[in-house]
Amino acid sequence: MKDIIYEFLDYISLEKKYSDHTEVNYEIDLAKYESFLNGKNYLNVKYEDISQYIISLKKSGYKPASINRNLSTLRSFYNYLVSNKKISKNPFDLIKGMKEEKRLPNYFKYDEFILMLDSLKDDTPLNTRNRLILELLLATGIRVSELVGIKIFDISIKTKEIKIYGKGKKERIVFFSNYTAEILEKYLSVDRGQLLKNKVSDYLFINHLGGVLTDRGVRGIIDKIIKTSGVKSKVSPHTFRHTFATMMLNEGCNIKSVADLLGHSSLNTTSIYTHLTNEEVRRVYLNTHPRAKK
C-alpha cells in the first residue's frame, strides 16, 4: 500500500498543488489507516471495515472534527484509486461525516498585537522580517502558505496591493496599510539583502540561512513571539486570519468583501465570523444597556 500512498501524495502535491501542511496531514492520516488495516487488502474494504475504523478512532480519543478530516483524506485517496481504475467505486461515498460541535474561531485583541510588535523592538534583519510577517498577516488575512509564497514582483508598494495565489492557484488582490508599507520598504531596501547572504531569490521572505522561509518556519516565529511578548491568547498564523475577519466585520465591512479578501469561494465559510461578531455585540449590550446590566 505504501507505493500507492506515495503516488497519491505526489499527485496532490504536484498536480493539485496542495500545501506542504496539507500533504503532511494526508500522509499521517493514511499511515494511521494502513496501520489499522494491518495487511488487509485496501482495495477490498467494506462498509463494516470503515465502521470499525471510525470506532477505533473514537476509542483513541479523536474528536468528530479530526475523524471527519481522516474520512475526507480517505475519500480523496479512494477517489484517486477510482480515477486510476484500481477500483470501480469509492467505499467512502457511503460514509457520512460525524456531527461536529460548532466552535467559534479564536482571535486576539489589538492591544495584544501591539505587545507582539513591542517584543521585536531591536533593529535587526530578523526582527524587521518578523515585524513585516505580523503586519502582513493582520493587514491582509492571508493564509501562512500564501504568505511564504509571495514573490517580489507580486507586490506594488505604490498602490499597496499584493497579488495572492490561493487554493487551487486562484488569484486575488489584497491590500495593506501605510504601517505595513513602511516596514516593507525598510525590509526590501536593507534587511532582506542581509538575510540573503549574496544568494538570489524571487521570494519575499527569507530565512536565517538565506533560503526561502517555510510554513513551519513562520509557525515557529509566531510561537517564539507569543512566548516573549507575554500575550495570553492562543495565537497561531491562522489566528491572524480570524482576527482580520473579525476586525473587518466589527468595523462595518460587508461580508461579501471580507469573503473576497479571504479568498473564500462561499459566503457560508465566512458566515462563522458573523456569529463571532454577534457575540461581541451581545457582550457590549449586556455591559452597557442600563436595563441589561445586573
Q: Which of 33, 42, 187, 273 is catalytic?
A: 273
Q: Which of 129, 192, 241, 242 is catalytic?
A: 241
**Contact between 13 and 33 (Cβ < 8 Å):** no
- What values do phi and psi take at 11, rounded to 5? -65, -50
**Contact between 165 and 146 (Cβ < 8 Å):** yes
Which set of grid coordinates corresponds to residue 86?
A: 484500481
- Bridge partners of 203? 151
User: How buried is residue 192: exposed, middle or buried, by Cβ count under 10 Å (0-12/13-18/19+)?
Assistant: buried
Q: Is 273 a catalytic residue?
A: yes
- Rounded distance, CA 186 to CA 206, Å? 14
Q: Is 283 a catalytic residue?
A: no
Q: Is 264 a catalytic residue?
A: yes
Give alpha helix (H) positions in 60-105: 64-83
**Contact between 147 and 203 (Cβ < 8 Å):** no
- Rounded distance, CA 290 to CA 279, Å? 19
User: Residue 150 region, left (φ>0) first, then alpha (ψ -120 to 50), else beta?
Assistant: beta
Q: Which of 131, 143, 192, 242 is catalytic?
A: 143
Which set of grid coordinates corresponds to residue 128?
A: 524587521
- Rounded distance, CA 33 to CA 35, Å? 5
Starting at the edge strand that comes first in sequence, how are the strands of the sheet with 161-165 ordered?
155-156, 161-165, 171-175
Q: Is 294 a catalytic residue?
A: no
- Rounded distance, CA 173 to CA 234, Å? 28
Cα angle at 98 between 93 and 99, to 5 degrees?
A: 130
Q: Which of 69, 160, 167, 172 is catalytic?
A: 167
Q: Is 21 a catalytic residue?
A: no
**What residues are annotated to the active site?**
143, 167, 238, 241, 264, 273
